[in-house]
């Protein structure tokens, strides 16, 4: 009898641990290209939309099959474990329905179908709760194709964000610290050290976000965060870029063009910038914009171009690898971003398809454990222009999910000393 009760108690205790899996984004397969998510920003950053606003999603299928794709939307807690809400509590209408809107490419060497989804729509007519969400796309057989995160927020609190140089003399030339204040005049934040959580992102890259900060001070309606090392990011460097809006013309980033099955653009050789002085060069903080100078409809008339990257880097790698990195593939490290060493040129090289446009990218070192060193090749400089986003989550007493109650943005163009 005692063993039976003990076994039941073990099952009751362990089951939530087994089922509460952390949501992970599934990267798209090779035949899915140019996934674009837009919220309140016109750029393709992680979409943060205000409750009641539209979310726009598009992508291309390069297999020429005019496949059917279906989408599902799930709600998650701050730590990306599934929330306790049932589907009808956060979603009006239905999901797991087919994407109805798509167009086939026009006058392009690489054929593709361009899919476009707007939420809310006729089937999914409302998202009624703020919080973390994952949208998952699947095929006719129910197989998952890819998934992406997005965030829905409410404007309940205001967030003042300031960017500071590091206080530690060892990091003062390389790091940028994010300090912020949350002001909540209309909502009483009960036990904020337990119930208030924050997400701090550099250049909208959720994969490198800081998530473990607690308020240091509570003055009236304000929660104050004045961390140094705990809220610091390496400043990085301005991104490399290429612009092939005119696919037949070389420019200051493209040195040679060839035509095979598609257009081939060969970039000028990039170099190690970690030991060179910082030089300002305007960028779009890792993002990309699709555009074709000679097209009326960028979505279906922009060509897919095979871009060739070339890096001169002489430092020993050990067990690490070099990859290209940016929002062009949602900051994903995979086989298409891997740089292989070419003995004949003494450089690292790779090539992959990009839809015509303006793209930011950088080179990073990736260790065997998956950790990414963004500054090893590009360098880390406190002067670098970066954009920072702070999201505020709150779960009130007795509530079953984490609300996103506000956000703030700051830029290191206004960086100051502590």
Digitized pLDDT (tens) for each residue of the chain, 418 residues in all: 444 444 444 444 444 444 568 989 999 999 999 999 876 555 556 789 999 999 999 999 999 899 999 999 999 999 999 999 999 999 999 999 999 999 999 999 999 999 999 999 999 999 999 999 999 999 999 999 999 999 999 999 999 999 999 999 999 999 999 999 999 999 999 999 999 999 999 999 999 999 999 999 999 999 999 999 999 999 999 999 999 999 988 898 999 999 999 999 999 999 999 999 999 999 999 999 999 998 999 999 999 999 999 999 999 999 999 999 999 999 999 999 999 999 999 999 999 999 999 999 999 999 999 999 999 999 999 999 999 999 999 999 999 999 999 999 999 999 998 7
Quote the CA–CA distance of 179 and 183 in Å, as a whole number: 14
Question: What secondary structure letter does DSSP report for 208?
Answer: G
CA angle 43, 45, 47 (to 5 degrees): 105
Q: What is the pTM of this model?
A: 0.91
Does 2 map to a domain?
Answer: no
Give the per-residue pLDDT at 17.
Answer: 45
Let me know whether 349 and 390 are in one domain: no
How many structural domains are present in the chain?
3
Q: Is residue 14 part of a domain?
A: no
Do 262 and 360 belong to one domain?
A: yes
Residue 7 lies in a domain: no
Asked whether residue 15 is assigned to any structural domain, the reply reads: no
Q: Are residues 204 and 290 in the same domain?
A: no
Whether residues 188 and 288 fall in one domain = no
The verdict on residue 10 lying in a domain is: no
* Boundary of a domain, candidates 153, 173, 197: 153
Q: Which domain holds residue 125?
A: 22-153
Do 352 and 405 share a domain, yes or no? no
Q: Is residue 9 part of a domain?
A: no
Q: Verify that 143 and 162 share a domain, yes or no.
A: no
My answer on whether 149 and 176 are in the same domain is no
Return the CATH number at 202: 2.60.40
239-265 b/e (C-beta count within 10 Å ≥ 16 → b): bbbbbbbebeeeeebbeeeeeeebbbb
Cα atoms in the 13 Å half-sphere on the side-chain side of 280: 7
Same domain for 365 and 294, yes or no, is: yes
Q: Do both 47 and 116 map to the same domain?
A: yes
DSSP string, 7-60: HHHHHHHHHHHHH-PPP-PPPP-TTEEEEEEESSSSS-SS-EEETTS-EEEEEE
Q: Identify whether residues 37 and 107 lie together within a single domain.
A: yes
């Amino acid at each position: 009898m005692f063993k039976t009760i003990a076994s039941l108690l073990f099952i009751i205790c362990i089951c939530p641990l087994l089922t509460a899996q952390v949501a992970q984004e599934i990267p798209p397969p090779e035949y899915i290209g140019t996934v674009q998510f837009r919220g309140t920003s016109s750029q393709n950053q992680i979409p943060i939309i205000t409750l009641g606003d539209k979310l726009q999603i598009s992508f291309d299928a390069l297999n020429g099959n005019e496949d059917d794709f279906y989408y599902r939307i799930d709600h998650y807690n701050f730590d990306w474990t599934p929330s306790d809400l049932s589907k009808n509590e956060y979603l009006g209408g239905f999901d797991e329905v087919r994407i109805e809107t798509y167009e086939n490419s026009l006058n392009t060497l690489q054929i593709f179908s361009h899919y476009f989804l707007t939420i809310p729509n006729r089937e999914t007519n409302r998202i009624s709760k703020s919080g973390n969400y994952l949208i998952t796309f699947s095929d006719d057989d129910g197989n998952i194709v890819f998934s992406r995160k997005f965030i829905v927020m409410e404007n309940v609190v205001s967030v003042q964000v300031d960017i500071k140089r590091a206080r530690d003399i060892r990091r003062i030339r390389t790091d940028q610290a994010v300090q912020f204040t949350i002001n909540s005049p209309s909502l009483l934040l009960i036990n904020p050290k337990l119930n208030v959580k924050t997400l701090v992102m550099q250049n909208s890259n959720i994969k490198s976000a800081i998530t473990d900060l607690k308020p240091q001070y509570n003055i009236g309606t304000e929660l104050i965060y004045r961390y140094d090392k705990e809220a610091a990011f390496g400043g990085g460097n301005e991104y490399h870029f290429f612009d092939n809006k005119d696919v037949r013309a070389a420019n200051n980033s493209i040195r040679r063009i060839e035509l095979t099955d598609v257009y081939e653009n060969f970039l000028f050789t990039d170099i190690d910038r970690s030991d060179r002085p910082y030089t300002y060069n305007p960028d779009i903080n890792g993002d990309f914009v699709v555009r074709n100078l000679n097209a009326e409809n960028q979505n279906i008339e922009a060509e897919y171009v095979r871009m060739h990257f070339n890096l001169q880097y002489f430092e020993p790698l050990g067990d690490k690898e070099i990859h290209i990195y940016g929002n062009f593939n949602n900051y994903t490290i995979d086989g298409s971003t891997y740089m292989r060493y070419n003995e004949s040129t003494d450089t690292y090289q790779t090539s992959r398809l990009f839809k015509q446009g303006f793209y930011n990218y950088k080179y990073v070192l990736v260790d065997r454990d998956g950790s990414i060193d963004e500054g090893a090749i590009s360098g880390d400089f406190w002067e670098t222009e970066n954009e920072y986003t702070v999201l505020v989550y709150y779960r009130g007493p007795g509530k079953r999910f984490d609300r996103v109650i506000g956000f703030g943005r700051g830029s290191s163009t206004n960086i100051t000393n502590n």
